[in-house]
Amino acid sequence: MPISSISPRGLVFTFTLLAAALAPAADLATTTQRVQAHTTFLADDLLEGRGTGTRGYDLAARYVASQFARLGLEPGADGGQYLQPMKFREATHQIEAGRLVVRHNGAEDALTPINDMVVTAGFSRTADTITAPAVFVGYGVHAPELGYDDYAGVDLTGKIAVVLSGAPKQFPSTQRAHHSSSSQKRELAEQHGAIGMVAIMTPADEARYPWAVVTAQSRFPSMRLLDAAGNPVNDFPALRVSGTTSRAAAARLFVGSGRTTEEVFARAEADEAQNFPLNVELTLAGANTQREVVSANVLGWLPGTDPALADQPLVVTGHLDHLGIGTAINGDSIYNGAIDNAVGIALILAAAEEIAAGPRPARPVLFAALTGEEKGLLGAFHLAANPPARVRRFAANLNVDMPLFPVPVRSLIAWGAEHTTLGALAATRATQAGFTVTPDPMPAETIFVRSDQYAFVKIGVPALYLSSGQQAVDPAVDLAGLWRKHLQERYHKPSDDLNQPIDWPSAGAFGLLVADLMRDIANAPQAPAWLPGDFFGGLYGTKK
């Protein structure tokens, strides 16, 4: 019987059965059972996709809080609470009403919403229209340390910046991830005086994220954290309206430039910095409806044994939210997020049970099920900026997100391993657990800036992002191909549910490895550190 069909009294009984089934034990079979039980609940239709600020997410948060309490973890948030609430501004964009008009030599060319473009207004307003000259600034990247600058000699004051998605492929993967970040591009455009921005999907990015996927995602509400004064955080308010165009429609922006998109894409592919006026005037208009939303991180605290380290926890994170209810696909409108990231939270709960059973580590461990990851890592940024009062600094962050076990797997990917001493700890623990460490299979995806660990990186905390690897136990299985199939067919779709194949013993083995790695980090004589000369360590390490 699916959980969604159980009555409230039956639901309480189900919780009781779950608690009884999850009795302490450190063997693979029991850990596997725990991971499967937690995932089964968190990915059920009852939770309606766990959208940030929704009833379904609140049910998931209460469930995780009850599990922390069952394990004997102390409330991790201030005021003796498990929940760390925060306020958001939610904007539902009226994408059909968006406008992008190109004017050249007295002629007007209006791009079509959805088919050609998506245009949205910023969070500081519910509607806005701007008309201004447009300037193309390549990838919108300023990286003098790599001898690259798309902004050289450009004055964007009062103009609209047109940028390509991504970053030069010649960049080391670390720098490429940083400079590909949309927030980094928006920050630079605002610093150079732009009042709007239009992003163009490159051929490579549109191959990975088809335009239909981009438009479907735009129908979900967007969010920003609100500060104490009620203002949206990290909104870049000077960029009043922003848009994204498909690769095909982008050619219409270059009508007055004397250049073709093929030439522009070729120069970008050759890693050549470029900028030039488009010699067109653009009108961008967007509108949205807004409301205030409250959601919460769920925090559980396991004290350490060394009083000298009592205020320096390892923070273990995974995002509890997913997309909620959206456009129906094949009759299903609930985006359950079984792999993204119910399994990750289940692994953290199972690992927490192992650690809580003792012996306790030297450093405390703060377990954090985070909200708002799908809205821009918002819960992670809130926790990083507003740690509980008992925290002086975070010693390290271990993040678990979207592990995929379609077949038996004993391999892992440790994104960020090359940046800090955490990489060596993870490699040693993987070997001891019978796992192999596989390299980043998707460097162009810039994964390291796209999950919750990045919020901690940006305050100087050494961080590691763990997920399953792409090497199957059976060498004849093309696990990398199964990953690609998942990303194409299930990622951010209703079919990321419990009907897909999941090898639960592999998830259980991964959970045991995560628990042991937590112990390794929390018991290490020295706190994790950035490696000498590391890019992120140099950029953010002094903030720790």
What is this structure's pTM? 0.90
What tokens does 116 get? 């050609």
Q: Where in the chain is the domain with CATH 3.50.30.30?
A: 91-290
C-alpha 235/C-alpha 183 separation (Å) is 9
C-alpha 373/C-alpha 376 separation (Å) is 5
**Which tops the pLDDT comparison, 33 or 441?**
33
Residue 17 reports pLDDT greater than 80: no
Q: How many CB atoms lie within 10 A of CB 217?
A: 16
pLDDT band, very low/low/confident/very high, at 25 (cuts 50, 70, 90): very low
Half-sphere exposure of 521 (CA within 13 A, CB side): 33
Handedness of CA 488, 490, 469, 364 (dihedral sign): positive
pLDDT score recorded for residue 37: 98
What tokens does 287 get? 């509108």
Residue 78 reports pLDDT greater than 60: yes
Residue 2 reports pLDDT greater than 50: no
pLDDT band, very low/low/confident/very high, at 284 (cuts 50, 70, 90): very high
Q: Where in the chain is the domain with CATH 3.40.630.10?
A: 26-88+292-412+454-543
Share of the chain above pLDDT 90, in %: 85
C-alpha 507/C-alpha 522 separation (Å) is 22
- Angle at the Cα of 381 from the Cα atoms of 377 and 387, rounded to 5 degrees: 140
pLDDT band, very low/low/confident/very high, at 26 (cuts 50, 70, 90): low
Checking phi first, is residue 221 left (phi over 0); if not, alpha (psi -120 to 50) or beta?
A: beta
pLDDT band, very low/low/confident/very high, at 24 (cuts 50, 70, 90): very low
Residue position matching structure tokens 């800090």: 420
CATH of 91-290, picked from 3.40.47.40, 3.10.129.10, 3.30.1360.120, 3.50.30.30, is 3.50.30.30
pLDDT band, very low/low/confident/very high, at 10 (cuts 50, 70, 90): very low
Residue 43 reports pLDDT greater than 90: yes
Pick the closest to residue 342 from 88, 59, 23, 77 (CA basis).
59
Residue 414 reports pLDDT greater than 70: yes
Residue 452 reports pLDDT greater than 90: yes
Q: What is the mean pLDDT of residues 224-237?
A: 91
Q: What is the mean pLDDT of residues 34-60?
A: 98
Fold of 26-88+292-412+454-543: Aminopeptidase (3.40.630)
- Mean of all residue pLDDT scores within the chain: 92
pLDDT score recorded for residue 541: 84
pLDDT band, very low/low/confident/very high, at 129 (cuts 50, 70, 90): very high
pLDDT score recorded for residue 544: 58
Checking phi first, is residue 143 left (phi over 0); if not, alpha (psi -120 to 50) or beta?
A: beta
Residue 22 reports pLDDT greater than 90: no
Q: What is the mean pLDDT of residues 148-171?
A: 95
C-alpha 344/C-alpha 60 separation (Å) is 13
pLDDT digits (tens, 9 = 90+) for 251-282: 999 999 999 999 999 999 999 999 999 999 99
H or E stretch at 509: helix 504-523
Q: What is the mean pLDDT of residues 459-483?
A: 95
**Which tops the pLDDT comparison, 140 or 438?**
140
Residue 442 reports pLDDT greater than 90: no
Residue 289 reports pLDDT greater than 70: yes
C-alpha 32/C-alpha 504 separation (Å) is 6
pLDDT digits (tens, 9 = 90+) for 372-392: 999 999 999 999 999 999 999
pLDDT score recorded for residue 14: 41
C-alpha 335/C-alpha 324 separation (Å) is 6
Residue 437, beta-bridge partner list: 412
pLDDT digits (tens, 9 = 90+) for 331-366: 999 999 999 999 999 999 999 999 999 899 999 999
pLDDT band, very low/low/confident/very high, at 98 (cuts 50, 70, 90): very high
Q: What is the mean pLDDT of residues 405-423?
A: 95
Residue 96: exposure state from Cβ atoms within 10 A (0-12, 13-18, ≥19)? exposed
pLDDT digits (tens, 9 = 90+) for 166-217: 999 899 888 888 899 888 999 999 999 999 999 999 998 888 888 988 998 8
- Contact predicate 39/348, CB 8 Å: no
C-alpha 462/C-alpha 281 separation (Å) is 45
- Contact predicate 18/8, CB 8 Å: no
C-alpha 253/C-alpha 248 separation (Å) is 11
